[in-house]
Amino acid sequence: MMMESMSGLLYALASLGAFALCAGIVLAIAQKIFHIEGDPMIDNIDALLPQTQCGQCGFPGCKPYATAVAGSEAEVNHCVPGGERTMLQIANLMGVEPKELDEEASAPMLAFVREDECIGCTLCIKACPVDAIIGAPKQYHTVIADHCTGCTLCVEPCPVDCIDMLVKPELIEHWAWPLPDTKRSQLGHERREQHAGHA
C-alpha cells in the first residue's frame, strides 16, 4: 500500500516538475525574443510636458521629471506650468487616477531686462535653461520674448536685480472663445465638472 502512494507521489512530482521546467525554458526563450531596451514611456510623457525646464516640479528639468513619473517614483500632478491639462494627459497615459494640482499655475510670464541697469555679467545667460537671453560679456543683455518660457530662473542670479517678470500680453490672434457661460448652459458646466473629476 505504501509503495503505490509513494509511486503516485513520485509521478505527481515528476510530471509537475517536468511541465514547470519546459514552461520555464519556453519563457526564457520568449524573454530573449521580446527583450526591450529603454522605457518608451519616458519619451511619451516628456512629449506631454510643456518643456519650460523650470524645476518647479522639484526635478532639474522636464526629462528627469518624465523619467521619475514613468518609473512611478513621482506623482503626476507636480508640473505647475502644465496645469490641469498636462496632469490629466499624463494620468490618462499612465492609467492612474488624476490627482488635484498642489499649486495653481499663475498667468504666463515673460522675463524682461531693464537694459540701462544691466552690467553684462552673463550670469543670467548661463542660468537660462532654454538660451532665451542673448548678449556678450560687458554688453547689456536682452530676453527674446518668443523663446522665454517664464521659468523665473534668471531673476535670482542677476547681481543688480535688473530682470523682472511681466505678464505675457494677450494677442487678438491668439484669443480663444470661452465656454458658454450664461445661465443658459448651467447644465453644460455641470457635465464638465463631472468629467473633469473623472478624466
Please report, as ranges, the residues that interact with another protein according to CB under 8 A: 8, 11-12, 15-16, 19-20, 23, 26-27, 30-31, 34-36, 39-41, 44, 46, 49-53, 55, 60-62, 64, 85, 88, 93-95, 123, 126-127, 129-132, 147, 149, 157, 170, 172, 174-188, 190-192, 194-196, 198
User: For residues 50 and 112, which CB has a smaller minimum distance to another protein in the complex?
Assistant: 50
Q: Which is nearer to another protein, 100 or 116 (CB)?
A: 100
Residue 90 half-sphere exposure, CB side, CA atoms within 13 Å? 31
Report yes or no: 158 and 141 within 8 Å, Cβ to Cβ. Answer: no
148: left (phi over 0), alpha (psi -120 to 50) or beta: beta
Residue 140 Cβ vs another protein, minimum distance, rounded to whole Å: 19
- Closest Cα partner for 110 from 172, 178, 171, 66? 171
Please state, in angstroms and rounded to a whole number, the distance separating the CA atoms of residues 136 and 120: 7
**Least Å distance between CB 95 and another protein?**
5
The dihedrals phi and psi of 138, each to the nearest 5 degrees, come to 70, -5
Beta-bridge partner residues of 133: 143
Question: What is the smallest separation between the CB atom of 32 and another protein, expressed in angstroms?
Answer: 10
What's the min distance (Å) between Cβ of 118 and another protein?
Answer: 17
Q: Which is nearer to another protein, 103 or 108 (CB)?
A: 108
Q: Which three cell numbers stand for residue 117?
A: 541697469
CB of 64 to another protein, least distance (A): 6
What is the spatial distance between Cα 154 and Cα 161, in angstroms, rounded to a whole number? 10
Residue with smaller CB distance to another protein, 41 or 112: 41
Judged by beta carbon, residue 104 or residue 178, the one nearer another protein is 178
